[in-house]
Chain A
């Protein structure tokens, strides 16, 4: 599949934003971390900015952005529509939650309800995003049980790196907090590792023989293509990344997304003040780089059944 920047930005930016909202809601609900109200409001606004950037980016790739509101209407059958509905529902909850940190008009009970609603609706939205991909039977590397957990835990892991910076700024980035975020980060990449192993060994039932129904006549190969230059189908769904390049990029993703941030989190746990914040910002930026490489691979390595008609295998 074509790794379009719009979808890579959409899934990684909104994922990190929802992840940060989830951590903030957890902070409020459990009271586990001491965060000042002003820092919390700034973090909430950063999260909403990331979510909004992602959603706007996904509307950029529409042919008719002015009709985007119509995408809310078919929630009964379409995961994309459900994603749109829940993405909109998050806003009122998250705005009340944001205001509640500093605005007395939001009662403690309402604030708790808003935190809980933000937590649950954010999780549902990320799940809906994952199901847009996981529901496509035409793309076996997406249509499997790994995709929803990967999307959910990557939202938590990348949002966690943002949350770590907030904790650093609030002076609450102690070793136990760092270890918790580290565990989530490692779990995310462990699941991703199993996902990569799964797609490398995946056996797909369909081949050019079943696509054309000519399999009973022997091995089916394309003798002559129907068109002389690339068409929409091949540009959108025929993108191919060389195996050796993919292997190399997976290593970069692991290095940037997991190894470096993991080390930096532990280092930051032993630091304080400006040095700690600088270390956590470095962990965030490098970690997000790893997530973007991972997301690029998610699209670039996905193969679509339509390419069978062009004599390829999936």
Chain B
């Protein structure tokens, strides 16, 4: 009986240690992904701080699926403000 309890104890310990290591790896991967994403955004921002680009903010007022999404992409490219998305120029300073 004692051996079985010790065996289960070892199993639980090994299982927990293994999962902790796995969670730690997942967390590291997520952090790395996040840092890559942010780094890439910084790069694209740098490219955008040029005379042929404007940096804008927008608030999504309506959204009803893929059609609105495509419309929104178009609005965000053309700097317009229409139903479904309002767009304003972000102050540069």
Q: Do A and B come from one complex?
A: no
